[in-house]
Amino acid sequence: MAHDRERDGRPVLVVEDSDDDFDTVVEAATRAGVRNRLIRAAGAEIARSLLAREAAGSFSFMLLDYNLPGVDGLAFLEVVRRDPVLAALPAVIYTTSVNPLDRDAFLRAGANAFHLKSVQHADSLRTLESIFDHWLTRAAPAPGGPRA
């Protein structure tokens, strides 16, 4: 999968408090040839501040962890989906939670996709590369066109 991907050149918002998990995201993006900037928010409040400062549509998509300090990822997603300016921001959940009720709750709250973090590093890299491939090339809008 090592192709240069920047059809959608907007940055990706990565809401992740774990340094190790963020490093894995960066490694997967590098391996996948992603040239989009990865902007990290180590918690929901930081992400909220970033989203409030940026113009609508500034981010390609948001990679969101569930287990965050303070406000969890589900509560944060619910806030994002209630905001008419941010409601269309694609939200991809990337979490360790294997509870099917959590998955269902995220999907009901408006998550676009739900992926499990693996304890196996190679599996995590493959999952993240697939996420980048989909959201930066396949689901990305053509220049001037609507988002799929």
Q: Is the Cβ–Cβ distance between 74 and 105 less than 8 Å?
A: yes
What is the fold of 12-138? Rossmann fold (3.40.50)
pLDDT attached to residue 145: 42
Residue-level pLDDT at 56 = 62
- Residue-level pLDDT at 37: 95
Indicate the pTM of the whole model.
Answer: 0.88
Contacts of 15 (CB under 8 A, 6+ apart): 40, 41, 43, 44, 47, 62, 63, 64, 65, 68, 73, 76
> Domain limits of the chain?
12-138
Residue 141 is predicted with a pLDDT of: 56
CA distance 34 to 29: 5
Find the largest Cα–Cα distance for the chain.
Answer: 40
Question: Strands 62-64 and 38-41: what pairing?
Answer: unpaired
Could you read off the pLDDT tens digit of each residue along the chain, which spans 148 residues?
A: 444 544 568 999 999 999 999 999 999 999 999 999 999 999 999 999 999 888 667 899 999 999 999 999 999 999 999 999 899 999 999 999 999 999 999 999 999 999 999 999 999 999 999 999 999 987 765 444 444 4
